[in-house]
Each structure stands twice: as structure tokens, then as C-alpha cells.
Amino acid sequence: MTAPIFEAKQVSFSYEAIPALRDLSLSMEAGRSLALVGANGSGKSTLLRLLDALCFPSSGSISFSGNPLTPERLRADGYDLWFRRRVALLFQNPDVQLFNPTVFDEVAFGPLQLGWASTEVIARVNSMLETMDISHLRDRAPYRLSAGEKKRVALASVIVLDPEVLLLDEPTSMLDPRSQSQLIDLVQNWKGTSKTVITSTHQLEIVEDIAERVVVLEQGSVAADGTPSEILSNGELLLRANLVHAHRHKHGDMVHSHPHLHSHARHEH
């Protein structure tokens, strides 16, 4: 059996005094796709940032392909650049990731920081803009983009390096339905390739499309780990993890209460 690409062992992390992750353990195989689900505050974003070595656990350990992710290890002989090329994180708020004056500069930022030659950078950026269908935005300033365009630019700036691992933090949030489905298509394309994809979301309806495995987080720890069908059919778990709400309505005199997965518009039972 191949070594897991990510191994998190009893990881705890707090923001100032507030605990975000408690004793979390998780193992991820390379080339798989995982959906990380949980309510807001369950620790999804924190976990992704830890996996991207942007912060470090206060106790426990995280390793990437056998290498422990610690500040010292990253500083040693350029390992951080090697790591940054291979692991990419898409932040939930695209504004945070669009800090360059133009779209072109933004997509070029990563390759430039990693020391690629100018000509190669220009070529790669142009092809990336083509692929993501945002060439017409190349000279646009980020504050003049729509939410969907921002997400596409952010995604482009992150996958331009052709990373092995993609960490996506609530990629469909703040998007209109069409942009959402476009993004889901993209993620689906990666499913089954050699890329490792970990997507965090609280939208249960997309989970089946984007992942083969689901991990449920509840208050900073793993509450469940299984296939999408296993997890999604466990109504009690979902209710407890605050991923669904109980919907009560009457049939005649009977009060009918059940966990509610789908939108209120289409309700069949």
C-alpha cells in the first residue's frame, strides 16, 4: 500500500483561545478526491490551511508524502518552494487571493515567485487564461470583476502551477447557479486523474458529484468517514453535525419531521 499523501495525527489548533481543531486524525491517499463537510465553525478552513502549511498545529503532526510539515522543515533547502508548487489552496474569499493589479499579474504571480523564466511564465499564463476562458480579462483590475470571474481568476492563479494536490475551500460559495455548475464540472474533471482533491463544502447536494469519500467534521474532530451514499443516508449524523435542518410540516393531523437535504423548491417524499 502506498504511503498516504497527507497524514494528520491528533492535530489540535486554536485561534488565540478558541479551539478550532481537537485531536483530529485523518489520512489521505494520493490521487483520490475527498469532500470535507461540516457546518460553519467546524474547522474545515483551518484544516485546509494546516494541510497547506500556512499554519502549524499546536499539538499533533501533519506530514506530506512522509515529510513532516513544520516551520523548520519548510525552511530547509528550499523545501517550501517544492511544496508550494505541488500543493495549491483556493481560498473561500477570492478577494484575499486577488492582490495583484491585473488578472495577468495575478496568474503570473505564482510562477514568478517559484523562479520560472519570464518567457515561460508569459507562455504559461496565456495558455491558462485561454483554458479558463478569461483572456478577455487579462488587463482588468480585480475590483472590476464579478464574483464568478473572481473565482475563475483565483482558480487560474492557483492551478497555473499544475499542482498535484488541490485544496478547495468552499469553492461554490457566493456563486450564481451557472458559475457553480461550471466549477463543479471542473472539479469533476479532476476526479479520477492523478490529482488529489480535497474540497470543503457545506452544500451536501454537490458532494456526490465531486468526491468518492466524505469526511464529516463536527466541532473540530472527525465525526464520520465514508462514501457519499453512506454519509448522506445517515440522517441522524447529518442533523447532529448541523448540516441539515429538520423540517416539520403537517399531513392532516400528523406532524411529519425529517432531515431536509434538498432545496425547498423541490420536495418529494
Residue ranges in contact with another protein by CB under 8 A: 16, 49, 52, 54-55, 80-81, 84-85, 88-89, 91, 93, 95-102, 108-110, 112-115, 118, 121-122, 139, 141-143, 157-158, 161
Q: How far is the CB of 121 from another protein (least distance, A)?
A: 7
Q: How far is the CB of 34 from another protein (least distance, A)?
A: 19
Radius of gyration (C-alpha) of the chain in whole angstroms: 20
Q: How far is the CB of 138 from another protein (least distance, A)?
A: 11
Choose between 43 and 228: whose C-beta lies nearer to another protein: 43
Residues 6 or more apart whose Cβ sits within 8 Å of residue 199? 33, 34, 35, 36, 168, 171, 187, 210, 211
**Three-state secondary structure call for residue 123:** helix
Q: How far is the CB of 246 from another protein (least distance, A)?
A: 31
Q: How far is the CB of 101 from another protein (least distance, A)?
A: 5
Residues 6 or more apart whose Cβ sits within 8 Å of residue 213? 32, 33, 34, 35, 225, 226, 227, 228
Buried b (16+ CB within 10 A) or exposed e, 242-256: ebbeeeeeeeeeeee
Choose between 68 and 115: whose C-beta lies nearer to another protein: 115
Distance (Å, whole) CA 111 – CA 116: 6
For the chain, the residue count is: 269
Choose between 100 and 242: whose C-beta lies nearer to another protein: 100
**Three-state secondary structure call for residue 174:** coil
Q: How far is the CB of 168 from another protein (least distance, A)?
A: 13
Choose between 64 and 109: whose C-beta lies nearer to another protein: 109
Choose between 55 and 246: whose C-beta lies nearer to another protein: 55
Q: Are 170 and 202 in contact (CB under 8 A)?
A: yes
Q: What secondary structure letter does DSSP report for 206?
A: G
Choose between 108 and 214: whose C-beta lies nearer to another protein: 108
